[in-house]
Amino acid sequence: MATASKDRTQAGRASNQRTAPLLPFRPGRGGARPGSGRKPKIPGRPGVDHRPRAALAQRFPVHVTIKLRTGLPRLRSKPAYDALRAAFAAGCARNLSGAFRLCHYAVLNDHLHLICEAQGRSALSRGLQGLLIRIAKALNKLWARRGSVFADRYHDHILKSPREVRNALRYVFGNGKKHAAEGREIDVPQAIDTFTSAPWFAGFREHITVKGIEAIVRPVTSARTWLLTEGWLRHGRLSVHEIPATA
């Protein structure tokens, strides 16, 4: 009798499983559709892709771009540049181990270009995080404000060949002149853009002397990678008259 009762119970369960109605799921919020995904921090402008970044070998330099939030004062003013240059110099002094090195830079009105070296991806991320925090604190103190300074996470491009490195150097040192030629409210009256690390760059064909540079703390660190010290010279030294093809 016990066996018959057990068989009836199991049969009833199987019948319930066959006849139980399927409950409809409400439409979800996921999936590809117009307007989905992370919204840009700058309206009308896409942010930096948040996919995992590519691995970085320590033999490759990196070109980093970071944008300022909208509505903030311009960076290409003497007070702002003095604060930036002090932050660069302090960051270089902080990274004496060489795990992260700021080798070249350019300051534009609303963004920064940096050419860096690092022992790997994590060293680059930590080094940039510390540097950008230092910059944000210095600028907020200057502008008597609080809050974030940069619009999005940084964009980086790994430089893997002598040609890429030379093009990046030309871009960084000549970007201000390119913007000035296009009427973007930037003035570069000197042979070199003094809102860059060009005064400390020894790779120009022309001999450049910057008055008073000996009284300024060097805001960059000497490069160590072959690509950034010797490799790029395979394609010739830079001229102060070179302007990048694209802005």
Cα dihedral across residues 106, 69, 152, 32: positive or negative: negative
Report yes or no on 11 lying in a domain: no
Report yes or no on 196 lying in a domain: yes
Q: Is 110 exposed, middle or buried (0-12, 13-18, 19+ CB in 10 A)?
A: middle
User: Which pLDDT score is estimated for 247?
Assistant: 41
For residue 118, the SS3 value is strand
Range of the domain at 133: 62-235
Report yes or no on 7 lying in a domain: no
Averages of pLDDT over each 10 residues, the chain, 247 residues: 54 55 58 55 51 84 96 96 96 86 96 96 94 96 96 92 97 92 83 95 92 92 97 97 76
Could you give the number of structural domains in the chain?
1
Angle at CA of residue 188, ends 219 and 149, nearest 5°: 55
Report yes or no on 40 lying in a domain: no
- Amino acid residing at 120: G
Report yes or no on 49 lying in a domain: no
Q: How far apart are CA 138 and CA 173, in angstroms?
A: 24
Q: What token pair was written down for 239?
A: 């001229």
Write down the residue that tokens 């070249």 correspond to: 104
Report yes or no on 86 lying in a domain: yes
User: Which pLDDT score is estimated for 238?
Assistant: 97
Report yes or no on 53 lying in a domain: no
Report yes or no on 6 lying in a domain: no
User: Residue 193 is part of a domain; what is its CATH number?
Assistant: 3.30.70.1290
DSSP structure class, residue 109:
S
Q: What token pair was written down for 138?
A: 């210095």
Q: How far apart are CA 179 and CA 177, in angstroms?
A: 5
